[in-house]
Amino acid sequence: RRNEIPIGIGKISYTYNDILFCAAVGSCVALTIRNNRSGYTGMAHVFLPDAATGHHSEDSPGKYADWAVTNLINNLLIKTDSSVNDLSAYVSGGAQMFPIRQAQCCMDIGKINAERVRQLLIDHHIVIKFWDVGGKAARTVAFDAAKGEISVTKKDDRTVKKS
């Protein structure tokens, strides 16, 4: 029996065979990067787009998009002795969780989070295999590392799957 490993906000976990998951992903982004050659997979529960300059926390390596992407890539490459050509990304979340009236006076942090993750992946030459962002529904995101499959269940119970 394989384990299901929950990823809390700001956290990152890695596995070869288990199922990584983020529950209640609203404006946050569940970012999964997988080494297609070895199957080694990491998932981060990204909360905000960028860390303040000079700010760093070992307790929350996935809190900010810039930290999460760097941590995931570095750890996957070191552990598997491979190149970025072996990596693929799966991105879900970035919903607009506030009513339109409130959103007009505030930033759409979900959209900003998703766009920042996308740009960082492009900057690192990581192929994005799955992109399910936006909307107004929170999601639960699960990635089966052994099979290389993602499952996204939205609050309205629609499920999107991608291998």
Which are the catalytic amino acids?
28
Q: Note the Cα 135 to chain centre separation in Å.
A: 16
Q: Report yes or no: 134 and 95 within 8 Å, Cβ to Cβ.
A: yes
> What's the pLDDT at 6?
98
pTM, two decimal places: 0.90
Task: Collect the ranges in the chain with pLDDT lower than 70.
Answer: 53-58, 99-106, 157-163
Q: Look at residues 162, 123, 156 and name the one whose alpha carbon lies nearest to residue 32.
A: 162
pLDDT given for residue 69 in this prediction: 96
User: Which pLDDT does position 53 carry in this prediction?
Assistant: 58
